[in-house]
Structure 1
């Protein structure tokens, strides 16, 4: 019996079709891995593969079960491919390592990041949830809070910044509005229980509300720099979100909308890459311990997230548990909010606060300065 006859007997038509589909899924998974180190400015289509990592992964897992049920060793192909990308998987899914006890006398800093969505509930623009935010912050008691999409009255008794100071004891505050009028301003804010000695904004690749600011605080005679990050968003409008949610019902007449959406995604991938390079250069010039937190608007497979996190501790990877979903609107499968720390820190704890206030969940971590 020659080899071709053996293969025809070994795999029938359906199995051959499934085998071909499985090989395509494996190639797609390998391409999603490469999205983490290929700059979208060099080859932007690869960034879409990184965005599709989770569904591609699930498809490969499905093929593993399919071939196991048919008692075929072909199941090993997808299994090996998934194992090759295990370091990428642990950036999305993790089993909590034992959390270390934290004492107020230690060199530990508790930091929290939260995209507040202008303090308005998703799909309920009239309902304000500032009181809920104050309650949650009071229960967590972070030393430093980094807000993205922060809004506050400029003057009067409803100034939100004063509420944090009076009720929660955050005496130090940095807020540089990206937009304001006579009554209110919004942008990025940092609230601290420790003195702020310096602050600023990285002006390279600054896109309005999507920008990077920093503060230098002092804890136990040690200067610590904290970067508050809000990378370029996809700038999706309501019609874009509805289009994505109804992709299965769309027809050929929607090709123009698909192209328009693709251009938005491409533009955002490239702009985030530029912001990430500007931030990395700034961090490399920092002479003391630093922390980078915020809304990166990109997944753990993306080039921008991996560039920023290169050489840093990823708090979720160190102490996270389960699927690291931090954004629950539209497609609630993505982690786009991060806490990274330089090598002079040890990650003690990490927590995603599953409270649906904004379209993002608050995230906090305990970071201990090494001796």
Structure 2
């Protein structure tokens, strides 16, 4: 291999170093609170893109027999643990059990209240989907009461709206009895988190439905290009800082109970973000990483599939299956995790 570069290749390598630096920063950011630098935190959203760009640079230098491929290749290989949070490369064997608990999480975007998709009776179609998949517990984010929603199979429920006049809320529906319930009540936002202590046979679990601060970004690159970039960066940065505080409040509630926990959450952030690390540090694991397969997409950002919804469970609860669905009835896709119940 040769190391000498011509002028054009020097320009290419300069861009290579820039994107290598971006990827390195993105690797570090999950350990840096957004309040330290909201601007830098935005780079974390681009981590998968930076990895692909660096992989492209590495292949470019390999094809030209240049040792310069080492920079990007080492960075890409060093980020395998991040890739595993959005894509599971191998099929995982599913344990066959007699008794399991199936928990679904779904941001339903107000059941198409504002006709963002050209589909009628979205509430009824979501009801039919849930009936077909037959979860034992369903957690809804971006929830509202709607005539089309039929949840009669779930005799127990807990709805929470931030104000009496607010349409936007969050809800938990359960086939098992709810013994206790409560709300975290995030300040200065419509977003919120609730929990329900559910009696399952002789055990009690705490199930959370959580919705962290939205980034308030239209998932269309052309539309984003029309926005004032400074205002966009400022808005996203403020949302990250709110998410940090909301995750802290949620984690504090974790410490207030000894009950095993399952957290159904729309993070509005990536699984390799600071807030994800903050929550997982409380003896939780990511059900998708444990039992998922393939691409963990839960949201489409134009051409970029994102996994911003997750089901986290206490490590003492055995996760045996995880499903991603490709049903287009919201701007999010539903997910469901299955857990082994004691005999």
- TM beyond 0.5: yes
Match of 2:172 among 165, 190, 197: 190
**Is the 1:297–1:336 Cα contact (8 Å) retained in structure 2?**
yes
Structure 1 residue 332, shift from structure 2 partner: 4.2
Equivalent position of 2:76 in the other structure: 82
> Aligned residue for 1:164?
151
Q: What pairs up with 1:96-135 in 2 under 5 angstroms?
A: 96-103=90-97, 105-106=98-99, 108-120=100-112, 123-124=116-117, 127-135=120-128
Query: In 2 relative to 1, CA 363–357 (structure 1 residues): closer, same or farther, beyond 3 Å?
Result: same
Separation (CA, whole Å) in 2 of partners of 1:246 and 1:231:
23
Equivalent runs, 1:176-255 vs 2, <5 Å: 176-181=160-165, 185-203=167-185, 205-236=186-217, 244-246=221-223
Compute the displacement of 1:241 (Å). Answer: 5.4
The runs of 5 or more residues in structure 2 that have no matched partner are none
Instruction: Give the aligned length.
Output: 340
Alignment of 1:29-108 (within 5 A): 29-103=23-97, 105-106=98-99, 108=100
Q: Which residue of 1 aligns with 2:137?
A: 144
Residue in 1 that maps onto 2:338? 366
Contact 1:129 1:357 in 2 (8 A): yes
Q: Computing the radius of gyration over CA atoms, which structure comes out larger, 1 or 2? A: 1
d(CA) in 1 for partners of 2:59, 2:108: 41
CA-CA distance at 1:83 after TM superposition:
1.8
Contact 2:285 2:313 (C-alpha < 8 Å) held by counterparts: yes
Alignment RMSD: 2.3
TM-score by length of 2: 0.92
Any conservation in 1 of the 2:299–2:333 contact (CA below 8 Å)?
Answer: yes
SS at match of 1:340: strand
Q: CA deviation at 1:330?
A: 4.2
Q: TM-score, normalised by structure 1?
A: 0.85
Deviation at 1:247, TM superposition (A): 5.4
Q: Deviations over 1:152-181 (max 9, x none)?
A: 15xxxx384xx311xxx2110101123455
Bigger shift: residues 283-292 or 172-181: 172-181
Quick one: which of 216, 226, 232 aligns to 1:261? 232
Q: 2:5 aligns with which of 7, 11, 14?
A: 11
Match of 1:3 in 2: none
3-state SS of paired residue (1:209): coil
- Any gaps of 5 or more consecutive residues in structure 1? 1-6
